[in-house]
Amino acid sequence: MGDRHGAYDACNCLAVDTNAVYVMDIDHVDTVDYGVVSPEGVAFVKHLKTICPYKRSTTKTKGYHFFFRSSALTNSARYQTRFKDIEVLSGQWAFSPKGRNIHNADMAIPTIDFGDFAPEPEPATEPPQSVATPSATPTTTKSTSKLKDYADLIKIEYLDSYDSWTKIVWALDTAHDHKELARGLSQKSTKCDEHTFNRL
């Protein structure tokens, strides 16, 4: 344990393992009036501020990360709640620049009932019969062409899984600046949603 404390100064961020302590990720964006489109979500966030330790988001001015426990939660790495732009991070690492202020740090991490945020069940729908969309990415260089060839080998199951899909998109867009390749690859999934893609 002492070795870890000594490493604090050498690190630029801290990480929370969300297998035991979950993070309620409030992804509210500046351009949306959530008091109009999701008043229940606004009330939920206001309530969480009174019972949970939390920190402000690093990337969103209206964003928060609340720390909590729950007796029943999905194994999904990201779980969309019934509230607009509020999800639960579970089973993955949640990172924060060190030195961020933790509000309510003296409070115990509460257990929140799953029913407080679980979405309403959606009616079953038939999946589309065929979704085969070719990538719209131009292959202007040899390396881009090779990258596209590798991307085409990615199985649909990885594109349908939110956790693996986000990692693929982030890798293509951030590290390699191949946003259009990421978009074309995403469109192969039956779960492809332009709004979600643009939020990444």
Q: Residues 46-91: pLDDT tens digits?
A: 999 999 999 998 778 898 999 998 876 656 667 788 899 998 888 8
Q: How far is 18 from 92, CA to CA, in rounded Å?
A: 6
Residue 131 scores a pLDDT above 70: no
What pLDDT does residue 123 have? Answer: 58
Handedness of CA 198, 136, 179, 160 (dihedral sign): positive
- The predicted pLDDT at position 41 comes to 93
Check whether 130 has a pLDDT greater than 50. yes
Mark residue 177 as left, alpha or beta (left: phi above 0; alpha: psi -120 to 50; beta: remaining).
left
Mean pLDDT of 180-187: 83
| Residues 152-164, mean pLDDT to the nearest whole number | 80
**Domain ranges within the chain, ordered by starting residue:** 10-116, 142-199
Model confidence at 139, pLDDT cuts 50, 70, 90, reads very low
Question: Can you give the pLDDT at residue 158?
Answer: 79
pLDDT > 90 in the chain, percent: 22
| pLDDT surpassing 80 at residue 138 | no
- Whether 40 has a pLDDT exceeding 70, the answer reads yes
pLDDT tens, 10-24? 777 777 778 778 889
Mean pLDDT of 105-130: 75
Residue 108 is predicted with a pLDDT of: 94
Residue 26 burial (C-beta neighbours within 10 Å; 0-12, 13-18, 19+):
buried
State mean pLDDT over 163-186.
76
- Measured at the CA of 92, the angle between CA 67 and CA 25, to 5 degrees, comes to 40
CATH number, domain 10-116, options 1.10.3470, 3.30.1050, 1.10.10, 3.30.2250: 3.30.2250
Query: Beta strands 86-89 and 78-80: pairing type?
Result: antiparallel
Taking the chain, what is the end-to-end CA distance rounded to the nearest angstrom?
A: 35
Q: How far apart are CA 143 and CA 163, in angstroms?
A: 26
In this structure, of 53-67, 95-109, 172-186, the range with the lowest mean pLDDT score is 172-186
Are 81 and 119 within 8 A, CB to CB? yes
* Average pLDDT of the residues in 87-103: 83
